[in-house]
Structure 1
């Protein structure tokens, strides 16, 4: 290859037509009368750089040169590369891309993947221009003709290997990597020659006694997994790549198998043997001693060095033996399959062996040489395996099938890699809701969190300040969050809301229509944020999927679990919504922490709390689950039948206890330490009087009426009252405000 950088095609000769190229008819490059053939030599950089330039208008050379000053500037190769395709060095500039009109393979290429040719091209180019004899020093500047250190190898991709080419759904040009110019995933490979040279040096051999020029190929990785000699390591490589080691003239030469014969040995060239006078002994091994199939295990560099199994087999043979081997090296599976097929064919061709003797005139032959042995009118190729010199040269050889060493690679096996996952801050909602389940203490708020992708678990930390965060709990299930598409107006409570329609975009999960019986069992429950920190619980009996992730919910139950006072008027489009299911996680905080503001940080459990992947929230739990529900059915009764005098206000108590839904009891459970109410007499927004009671009624006396209004109330007057149940732990419950017309 180095000799053809400043020689060969494009330097010494060219093919005038495609027919000439196919027939290898080569026309010398010349310049006729001007005798400057370098003008027409694309490869003759040295002459172009060293000589004056003369334009040739109309084919006639000008008498005056151009402004170009010879040797005035260095040459830099901005694209120095070769496709990783069979015989890619024939045309290093072309590329294969089925989607492009400029897609080509190098001429004479068979379209096979060949990483070794790409590496050899780069090594040859850099070695050639690195030699002072090939790269002269300029007389005009301090430097050589080619600035090797400034030459750019083509092409290095900033996208990470092996995700390019594996993630073809992300990058559509990933399929072109296999036969293209890409160096990512290949440049880190080690050439077989360099690897064997290194092992020989480790064994103590001097550089002068090592010849690896006959080796070809590359390995993406090689591991020495046990205490072994360099010779054992080389033997493993020889088995996999198919080469021999021969000592000749004091040098250990490593030679690939499959070479052409170096000599033809006729029957008359043989020396008669000592026994029976036979000149040659041919042996054919039994088929039962050979494998029917060969299985190799290698590693894949494009799948985190996971194991890959390749197999070669023969069909019409009288054996069922299967041989298996494992090689501690990273090799593309398609290339490993090619070598596995070569090894199997090599074993079957090598079952024929020959023992013969040659005269001293054949002293030039060495082990590993290939000869054409003409015996009984048939010329067969044999590879010499051993030579013993005495009065004649005793030779042992095995038959060679040269086609086994030029097989196509196996079928491509695309890597199956997960996408590189980057976790961002999750979307988190902290909800202070009435108690929803018996297994969750009433005072504990809930956390709903989602993220895409879901990291598996979210850690929940809290702190009263900006540091010192402590782990509170872990969220292991992804909540189902959504947003309203349109406004939701107030509706009736304690019965079905048939007038309103709730349009909801759900980020994950699904909703289905349910029966009334399932609805009364808390199915299809959502918490909708009507204002910051205020949540109405809504249930939907009918759910219709009208678009991807978008539902039309009807047959609604509004203000469930005592949240009727949280209805918006309206609740605006874009309001957050949370499905109330098992994905919600309680925050295990003590009751003593209610009312205390905390800073919360929620993020992937595998990350530190200081990571940018955490969501920061300020939240003060108020213990909404401990808040008494508002009373209902408020009415009044005069002390005297025709009005005037004391006024008795009455109502019906509700219970926040989950057991209050039972139909068996005479009265709902109290749910508080004691029964206590506060009644406020209102004049618009102004407070007139506060009354208290330990029963679901209170007397608004005539004297109090006179003190508040200047006279006793009379039938027909309107009276606005605000009534709430009191809790010993949390204070006022949810108030019910109504205007009574006396």
Structure 2
């Protein structure tokens, strides 16, 4: 087998492999393998059009360099056409010299018709099992992840604190993931006229009811009904009975606009997956007792955390006006979120229903009395019950039946009483029996408040 030896100067001194590095923001990096002792001067550059690791690129550079130098010494031999089926790239074992068997790789083959002429190079299998280690420490750009979107819930419900005494509704903001850093509320007449109306950095957990909250009318803690809610990534915590009765801890709104009930829970038992079973409930708070029986299995649940609630100030003229509400997470553009539209009803200005409606006799006259309630902060021990209106006014209506469909007589009064005189009774044809009164406090801003109706 004649030996053919290439000149050393025709071989590469080094091989550089460029590649796409995923750990370097998919920028181009390179790995280089150098032959330390050589008279060669050529530097070979190889481009890999693929994303790979530095270790793999280093191993490719080593393999190419060693393969070039391995091919410096080639041999040739001839055989009969018995081996004409072989082709370049095949590995063959050749006995040369006698008694020595070695693997060779065919680089070219010529079939003359009588003989087959082969050119071969050493076929070292170890060449393809390189273990070289590439460079480390590539650092890509440190790009902060996009902020999670913000969930928004409009709670057009009763006034919760004196500071929010305006026609605007409450708006709760909550993040969809734990790394939510806050959001901004934008409100406008339409999506092209949105202006900032405040921001929060803490969430007011928003979820959904998974069970129907049963009705409740007694003025004690509801230990009968249970409520299952799902608040996603948020958490709910239990409290003590003392705190439940003496503070606003664990206050929540349950329902939808037009039928919100304000309540509190004492116990929150985790069911896993963001689901909680709430029990020990204070029901019908802030004048919402009439909504305790209006719930469905898909009610919205909002934990009334002050730091996650906004109440944009709005005047009476905004009542009934449809506006766009949009919640934008900190770090996101205004156009990254969709708007909700809602026509505010000014529920926060609506007077609570009176209580303790009674009748008594004064001679032949019937006197109706009641007690008003206040939307504003009260001090029972000091006897302070703010009116919350520019003047004190009520409407008492007497109906012909318990259906409360046909008005028999109406009274407009400025005190917590009205007299149904004997003359009025005669004119109305009333000769005794049950009466069906309904009384409401009148607001200068939104008109009639919530009613108290009963059979006396």
Match of 1:647 in 2: 366
Match of 2:291 in 1: 566
Pair 1:463 & 2:188 matched: yes
Match of 1:185 in 2: 26
TM-score (norm 2): 0.68
**Within 2, Cα distance between the matches of 1:451 and 1:512?**
18
User: By percentage of residues, which structure has more helix?
Assistant: 1
Match of 2:376 in 1: 657
CA pair 192-416 structure 1, distance change in 2 beyond 3 A: closer
**Within 2, Cα distance between the matches of 1:582 and 1:334?**
56
Q: May I ask how many residue pairs the two structures share in their alignment?
A: 359
Match of 1:698 in 2: 418
Match of 1:580 in 2: 304
Q: Counterparts in 2 of 1:454-533, with a 5 A limit?
A: 456-465=181-190, 467-519=192-244, 520-529=246-255, 531-533=256-258
**Within 2, Cα distance between the matches of 1:497 and 1:670?**
30
Q: Counterparts in 2 of 1:14-33, with a 5 A limit?
A: none
Contact kept in structure 1, 2:251 and 2:304, CA below 8 Å? yes
Task: Give the superposition deviation at 1:626.
Answer: 2.2
Contact kept in structure 1, 2:203 and 2:305, CA below 8 Å? no
**Within 1, Cα distance between the matches of 2:300 and 2:140?**
38
Task: Give the superposition deviation at 1:420.
Answer: 8.3
Contact kept in structure 2, 1:493 and 1:559, CA below 8 Å? no
Match of 1:672 in 2: 389
Compare CA radii of gyration and give the structure with the larger one: 1
**Within 2, Cα distance between the matches of 1:597 and 1:725?**
27
> RMSD across aligned C-alpha pairs, in angstroms?
3.9
Contact kept in structure 1, 2:17 and 2:30, CA below 8 Å? no
Contact kept in structure 2, 1:434 and 1:442, CA below 8 Å? no
Contact kept in structure 2, 1:544 and 1:552, CA below 8 Å? yes
Task: Give the superposition deviation at 1:411.
Answer: 9.2
2:43 corresponds, among 198, 210, 214, to 214
Pair 1:431 & 2:159 matched: no
Pair 1:727 & 2:447 matched: no
**Within 1, Cα distance between the matches of 2:217 and 2:138?**
60
2:323 corresponds, among 595, 598, 604, to 598
**Within 1, Cα distance between the matches of 2:389 and 2:41?**
91
**Within 1, Cα distance between the matches of 2:229 and 2:182?**
27
Q: Counterparts in 2 of 1:704-719, with a 5 A limit?
A: 704-708=424-428, 710-712=429-431, 714=432, 717-719=433-435
CA pair 584-594 structure 1, distance change in 2 beyond 3 A: farther
**Within 1, Cα distance between the matches of 2:140 and 2:276?**
36
Task: Give the superposition deviation at 1:522.
Answer: 0.8
User: By percentage of residues, which structure has more strand?
Assistant: 2
Contact kept in structure 1, 2:188 and 2:195, CA below 8 Å? yes
1:407-455 residue CA offsets vs partner (Å, 9 max, x unmatched): 9437977979989856676431111232323444454422112343466
List runs of 5+ in structure 1 lacking aligned partners.
Answer: 1-11, 13-114, 120-155, 167-183, 194-210, 221-300, 303-330, 337-405
Contact kept in structure 1, 2:222 and 2:282, CA below 8 Å? yes
2:350 corresponds, among 614, 627, 638, to 627
Match of 1:548 in 2: 273
CA pair 439-411 structure 1, distance change in 2 beyond 3 A: farther
Contact kept in structure 1, 2:17 and 2:48, CA below 8 Å? no
Higher relative contact order (CA 8 A, sep 6+): 2
Q: Matched residue of 1:528: which SS?
A: strand
Match of 1:737 in 2: 453
**Within 2, Cα distance between the matches of 1:466 and 1:707?**
58
Contact kept in structure 2, 1:191 and 1:219, CA below 8 Å? no
CA pair 532-551 structure 1, distance change in 2 beyond 3 A: same
Task: Give the superposition deviation at 1:496.
Answer: 1.2
Q: Matched residue of 1:673: which SS?
A: coil
1:473-501 residue CA offsets vs partner (Å, 9 max, x unmatched): 33433320111111111112432112111
CA pair 409-574 structure 1, distance change in 2 beyond 3 A: same
Contact kept in structure 1, 2:18 and 2:48, CA below 8 Å? no
CA pair 417-218 structure 1, distance change in 2 beyond 3 A: same
